Amino acid sequence: MNDMIVGVDLAKSVFQLHGATADGRPAFRKKVPRQQFLRFLAAYPGAIIAMEACGSAHFWARELISRNHQVLMVPPQYVRPFVKRQKNDATDAEAIVTAARQPGMRFVPPKTDQQQARAVLFRARERLVHQRTELVNALRAVLYEFGYVLPAGLRQIGRVQAILDSDEGAIPRLVREECRDLLEQIAEQTARIDERTRKAHQLADGAETARRLQTLPGVGPITALAFDAFAPDMKTFRRGRDFAAWLGLVPRQHSSGGKERLGRITKAGQADIRRLLIIGAMSRLNWLGRSRIPEGSWLERMLARKPRMLVAIALANKMARAIWAMMTKQQDYRIPVPAAATV
């Protein structure tokens, strides 16, 4: 059975299975209820189980690995080219097997339950931040209808409270009540965000990986938590450039005939880590961070001739490569010493 590969098209209730031998010949096609999935695969000990890296895939990967199966999780975008004509569960399962058998295929490593728990905490905080932003924008839109133009940002909440407490202006009582209700919802969301931020800081302080990452300028507890939750093992990348490319921090290529054409960054990798690295890079380029940039460094030279956002992308790329080196060598970040000028 070690030569058997089983493609699984995951679903909520019924799983579609496609079994094939090592040379690709079909062995069986079968629909299996969720409750009988593990029991059915017990008849194929040591088989290779291939599935798309989608919802619940990491859970089933852990369950199958604990039963001595080898699990291959294929990114969905790499399965799509192998779907034959009509798309259905059976052809999807067959396409998963075909994709998994490709020599140069890239696979997604299964996540542990602790990694998924950190991802849930990170997503919960992000969701609350988006909801609070929506409430703040709704409050600004209401006041705008009555002649009050407020800048964007949470810092304007105190100004909004002063407007509502003032008797000046033609704001009806009903509108004031609705605005105060929005302020209460914003305060509740802020309290929830602060609670999750506190938990993120505790996790970052208690994990060696997160502590090491925070020695890199521009990386804080939230970025360290996202890295711990979403980033794969750094040993899967041959070099730091490969990790930066996985994050989507490299230009998209449209090269042909020996002529190199580079476009915008690909944005093809993990969006949360990429976004947080760019935010961290921008924090090093604001008015306070610029005072700490060494004179004559490549960063200072880039800022002198390139737009700030482009420099932030380049700095985020360099931060990603530094993270790869820190993780693979198990070392904290060391500030580079400028080379002595030659006479």
Question: Which tens digit of pLDDT belongs to each residue from 46-84?
Answer: 899 999 999 999 999 999 999 999 999 999 999 999 998
The pLDDT value given to residue 296:
80
Q: Could you tell me the pTM of the whole model?
A: 0.85
Average the pLDDT over 125-130 and give the result. 96
**Digit-coded pLDDT (tens) for 258-286:** 888 888 888 888 899 999 999 999 998 88
Percent over 90 (pLDDT), the chain: 67
Backbone angles phi, psi at 253, to 5 degrees: -95, 140
- The residue count of the chain comes to 343
Work out the angle between the directed axes of helices 113-144 and 157-165 (0-180°, nearest 10).
Answer: 40
C-alpha 6/C-alpha 46 separation (Å) is 11
Burial of 73 (0-12, 13-18, 19+ CB in 10 A): buried
pLDDT at 2: 60
Contacts of 23 by beta carbon, 8 Å cutoff, 6+ apart: none
pLDDT of residue 337: 66
Mean predicted confidence (pLDDT) in 178-183: 95
Residue 341 has pLDDT above 60, yes or no: no
Angle, alpha carbons 288-297-306 (nearest 5°): 75
For residue 149, pLDDT over 80 is answered with yes
The closest alpha carbon to 282, from 214, 218, 213, belongs to 218
Per-residue pLDDT, 342: 45
Q: Which pLDDT does position 24 carry in this prediction?
A: 83
CA distance 293 to 93: 53
Residue 283 burial (C-beta neighbours within 10 Å; 0-12, 13-18, 19+): middle
| Mean pLDDT for all residues in the chain | 90
